[in-house]
Structure 1
């Protein structure tokens, strides 16, 4: 079969990725006064714009949404990440579902203003120059959160070092530890060189944990790092906040002590060891962050409990994730909300007021999103989907614990249900990490089953290159969002939150955020826990056949569910609420919210 021939599982023939990506950004915009920024937010990936390949998935999306809410609410923040000149990767799938990857190159110097400073740090026993490019996240009130993207492609650096900030999650562990040293050590040095000395350093996952060593070095600047005391460590600890994002072991970066010494040097590595930050003889970035943070949290209620069991020697709190409503709500729904409850943009609690809007008007907005999604599907694949038919969406990073194939476990029953209810459509999307052989195999398994099942009654497509724009259209256009992780490995999950904002109910395992968001038959449905996957799959089919499909056949009742998804889950699962909890519980727990003001401004930082 020709690799460009369309089949039910094929996408448009792959073209080469663009040589450069150039969003419209004012390179001459002045940088805000950094001296007034009291919170520094560090993340290995941040989704800043659909045009910039500076993210891979949920962690980066969460970081970007956090900063967008920070900008909307005039929070005194600044952020640090890496430039990722070659991006994460563009996914390409052949007719059999075999994934291949290509770089997504872009040119920071042609796109963004320079930070105007370069710092030199010692990594791998040699000097490393690090510069940065600035991306301004502009909020609804005009407030700017500057994000500095670190870059080692600087003249004078070793040839190998110039590529350290090229690939997000690329290379081997040696490359990754070098990257994490750049993020934490050079990022902190650059901030201080820019005149920014925050009161709070927030590590969004353990990748940035080495910033604690740089803070400790500065704390002992009049002495030596080898002379650092427990009192010095406590000073650093009082400045740091750490958010852990996953109970999956692979999500906690670990490096050999010999590797740590080679990259960080004997003094830094010895300091890590002396302060008891090794775990099982390895440099574990999660344990380093835990040791030097005064506040640690998981990203959902259940995840906080799971994390507490994983790290019993530390106190783990929970702040449930959210999404940035104005980014992920469809244009049609935004127009409706702007007309009926315009205060929603600065105060997401007003989503509750959608109960005052006729459900049919909300349903009409979703129908427009569904039509827009199906237009995209046709453009990409040549296949036409029917807007009248019940459509399920399953899209996320492909990892075995997320169990993308659970929905297809009993093909005969799924096909039988599709025929019984008058047709069923399923859209899949998701990337597997280039080194994840099992994840790639899972994509192929889904494609193989789907090819056998595709018929007039059941249509299944796997869309390639799941990214910001595709994710937005899927969550705005499908009828039901499906999520089937193996408990308790779903720390939070945010795609279902985006769907809920658009009136899309979830059919999901009770894990992560869905434990808090599921009101059975009101905001969606829970897949009952069982001792085996076959039983969970059968429960999924039971809910689909006996609950979801019958309700879908009642347009008025379905519209009321769409209304409740927005009113109940949109009100809580947003980053405006999430960020206010970080301020109240993690950043400045002893400070009344009314006193959290930007210097020279009369309005409170967070009016949410």
Structure 2
């Protein structure tokens, strides 16, 4: 869904983007529940000829084929095209008669198969996907690997570059990494694809040999600790090694990712691990309700569609739409959701051959006048779907409150092999039945885009309570903002940067306790308190005209602040300006003049790496008082021995920061010194450093390689620090 929103926003903005993926014959599973609430999966077979897809054909009018080398035989894939607005999406399909039955199943199901099937799918996606791009006449300057599944693309791109330019692996890689972008979506080490060496030797040995690369060096490209030869190969690290632009999907997720991967840059502070952040967003026109569209047309004007994520659009809407009409829209959308839930549940009961009495009861679930809270997502254990059920008596008191009742709509799927996630779903279903709470708590089967659309448009509050910091971003809550809904969430993912007083509610204060059970208890108590003492009272506080004025004010502020900020239009603009355009320029710069800039940069790298051991910081002097006020400056002088390197080959820097309890520095600022004198004992570098923050501050001096062709300061991984006395 996020990738689709990305493509739609690129179309809206006119970004020349092309998507590549796999076309699964049975796709994502459909969910149904047994009478006791246990998830079952059904994989319907899709007829591609009856979908909005076109089979790509070559010049001979025959279906276009791309071939991926496997150890036993080659696998052939045909290519389908989907038109997403102005953006083309190419999808690979291995379900061909010329393939062996096992190979036909590579693009059968999303979650099917074992570790070996996973590597086969990723080879088809990465290697076959890049071949498909070239086959349809597209040779991109910039390639965006969305998660580590696509990392083999980087190797195929290098291979084709070597063939096209008749160059070696190092030269080709020097060019290709400049034009690669990698986004990680995973907040925990267990979420990455890891492959053992024997499996890789079987599947990629020929590809590695074709790159004129030893297999040991190839394995090092995918290990967090290359010296540990027992460590499995991490696809995310392969992608990071072959992309100069890397990001997480929220600020907090980028911070967590820098901590996970710091061992790859052991001599740099964790803040400088080269993982940036581009927070996810949602495609507003996909998720916004018809009722909200009508209000925007009426009070902002139809031109708002030209850029639905424009801040001025939402500011104008928040200012112009009258309270009565905004609240009427919310009441109607809640009613739409209630009616949808009743229809949806009746259909599920029909599938299970429930009694007429049970089916009649479905007509009475939920109340269109009651505060409605929604929770829908993948049922992974860290998302804590049952946090609300920790104190059953307190929950019962909330849903049956005489004056301020609350009702809940749940939906979501567990991974087919996640027994813990399935147990969470069953616990909710069985609670509802055991407590006779089905008039106030419902679980909707088969969560998909239609269910999601009704929920994000209809709920008053979107609930999200993951175990911090395990939610990389989350996007469901973003979708309610443009529909007049509010968020109540743990300060994790996007909400850690989106929350502000008046736009929703924060569960807890961002604390992380190593005792998970205690953390769960604390968060559940905070959630109960919010619903009982803040959310429900504000929702039901009606003085005049039956309108909850404070609630409507919060809707306005959420629309004004959050709707445009957490949109894919903003997200794609960020990717374009911060990654795509700079990566394209860097790629072009390295590939011009017969690759001369790339070869010169490699020669410089070789020189620096050969001579770096001779770089030493001889002495550091502070030429002004140690007692400073904010706004003052102090002078620092460092004498540095560079050996065979020139001052232009390095940057001598002062890192200032807050002094922690272990004398570590955090909250860092980096300042460059200038070479002012060169003599027999080295080069003197000097600079004026601002004191721009209060408190106990310290500094350290370091030397790092510098070349105008480097995309990131840590690209070589080299740094020399001044010696600090124990």
On whether the aligned pair clears a TM of 0.5, the verdict is yes
RMSD: 2.0
**Alignment partners' CA distance in 1, 2:81 and 2:582:** 30
Secondary structure of the 2:489 match is strand
Encode CA deviations 1:293-316: one digit per residue, 9 max, x unaligned: 010000111111111111122400
- Of 322, 345, 350, the residue aligned with 2:281 is 322
Contact 2:404 2:540 (C-alpha < 8 Å) held by counterparts: no
Contact 2:406 2:536 (C-alpha < 8 Å) held by counterparts: no
Cα gap change, 1:148/1:590 in structure 2, threshold over 3 Å: closer, same or farther? Answer: closer
* Alignment map for 1:260-271 (pairs within 5 Å): 260-268=200-208
**Residue matched to 2:705:** none
Encode CA deviations 1:298-342: one digit per residue, 9 max, x unaligned: 011111111111112240000111000000011110121122223
**Residue matched to 2:490:** 509
Encode CA deviations 1:4-41: one digit per residue, 9 max, x unaligned: xxxxxxxxxxxxxxxxxxxxxxxxxxxxxxxxxxxxxx
**Alignment partners' CA distance in 2, 1:346 and 1:273:** 52
**Residue matched to 2:140:** 198
1:506 Cα deviation after fit = 1.0
**Residue matched to 2:379:** 398
1:345 Cα deviation after fit = 2.2
- Of 530, 535, 538, the residue aligned with 1:543 is 530
- Of 111, 127, 150, the residue aligned with 2:74 is 127
**Residue matched to 1:359:** 323
1:569 equivalent to 2:537? Answer no
1:387 equivalent to 2:387? Answer no
Contact 1:503 1:561 (C-alpha < 8 Å) held by counterparts: no
- Of 305, 312, 330, the residue aligned with 1:345 is 305
Moved more, 550-559 or 273-282: 273-282
Contact 1:306 1:488 (C-alpha < 8 Å) held by counterparts: yes
Secondary structure of the 2:400 match is helix
**Alignment partners' CA distance in 1, 2:434 and 2:157:** 58
Structure 2 unaligned blocks of 5 or more = 58-63, 224-229, 266-272, 346-361, 542-547, 586-726
Structure 1 unaligned blocks of 5 or more = 1-60, 139-143, 593-608
1:286 equivalent to 2:236? Answer yes
1:418 equivalent to 2:399? Answer yes
**Alignment partners' CA distance in 1, 2:418 and 2:215:** 30
**Alignment partners' CA distance in 2, 1:107 and 1:419:** 47
1:168 Cα deviation after fit = 0.8
Secondary structure of the 2:67 match is strand
Secondary structure of the 1:170 match is coil
Larger Rg: 2
**Alignment partners' CA distance in 1, 2:304 and 2:120:** 43
Contact 1:359 1:563 (C-alpha < 8 Å) held by counterparts: no
1:371 equivalent to 2:335? Answer yes
**Residue matched to 1:552:** 539
Contact 2:331 2:369 (C-alpha < 8 Å) held by counterparts: no
**Alignment partners' CA distance in 1, 2:484 and 2:165:** 59
* Alignment map for 1:147-162 (pairs within 5 Å): 147-162=89-104
**Alignment partners' CA distance in 2, 1:503 and 1:525:** 18
1:156 Cα deviation after fit = 1.4
**Residue matched to 1:6:** none
Contact 1:323 1:573 (C-alpha < 8 Å) held by counterparts: yes
* Alignment map for 1:297-336 (pairs within 5 Å): 297-312=247-262, 313=265, 314-336=273-295
**Alignment partners' CA distance in 2, 1:362 and 1:246:** 38
1:249 equivalent to 2:242? Answer no
**Residue matched to 1:596:** none
**Alignment partners' CA distance in 1, 2:24 and 2:326:** 39
Contact 1:359 1:562 (C-alpha < 8 Å) held by counterparts: no
Moved more, 568-577 or 248-257: 248-257
> Greater relative contact order (Cα 8 A, min sep 6): structure 1 or 2?
1
Contact 2:399 2:440 (C-alpha < 8 Å) held by counterparts: no
Cα gap change, 1:119/1:418 in structure 2, threshold over 3 Å: closer, same or farther? Answer: closer
Contact 2:19 2:90 (C-alpha < 8 Å) held by counterparts: yes
Secondary structure of the 1:278 match is coil
1:367 Cα deviation after fit = 2.0
Secondary structure of the 1:373 match is helix
1:155 Cα deviation after fit = 2.9
Cα gap change, 1:590/1:233 in structure 2, threshold over 3 Å: closer, same or farther? Answer: closer
Secondary structure of the 1:237 match is helix
- Of 82, 88, 112, the residue aligned with 1:146 is 88
Secondary structure of the 2:107 match is coil
1:266 Cα deviation after fit = 4.4
1:513 Cα deviation after fit = 0.3
1:223 Cα deviation after fit = 9.1
**Residue matched to 1:489:** 470
* Alignment map for 1:11-30 (pairs within 5 Å): none
Contact 1:131 1:152 (C-alpha < 8 Å) held by counterparts: yes
Contact 1:475 1:498 (C-alpha < 8 Å) held by counterparts: yes
1:189 equivalent to 2:171? Answer no
Secondary structure of the 2:282 match is coil
Moved more, 576-585 or 381-390: 381-390
**Alignment partners' CA distance in 2, 1:63 and 1:590:** 20
Secondary structure of the 1:576 match is helix
Cα gap change, 1:99/1:109 in structure 2, threshold over 3 Å: closer, same or farther? Answer: same
1:377 Cα deviation after fit = 0.9
1:383 Cα deviation after fit = 4.0
**Alignment partners' CA distance in 2, 1:339 and 1:166:** 47
**Alignment partners' CA distance in 1, 2:584 and 2:96:** 42
Contact 1:125 1:264 (C-alpha < 8 Å) held by counterparts: no
**Alignment partners' CA distance in 2, 1:81 and 1:272:** 28
Contact 1:73 1:346 (C-alpha < 8 Å) held by counterparts: no
Secondary structure of the 2:111 match is coil
Contact 2:491 2:509 (C-alpha < 8 Å) held by counterparts: yes
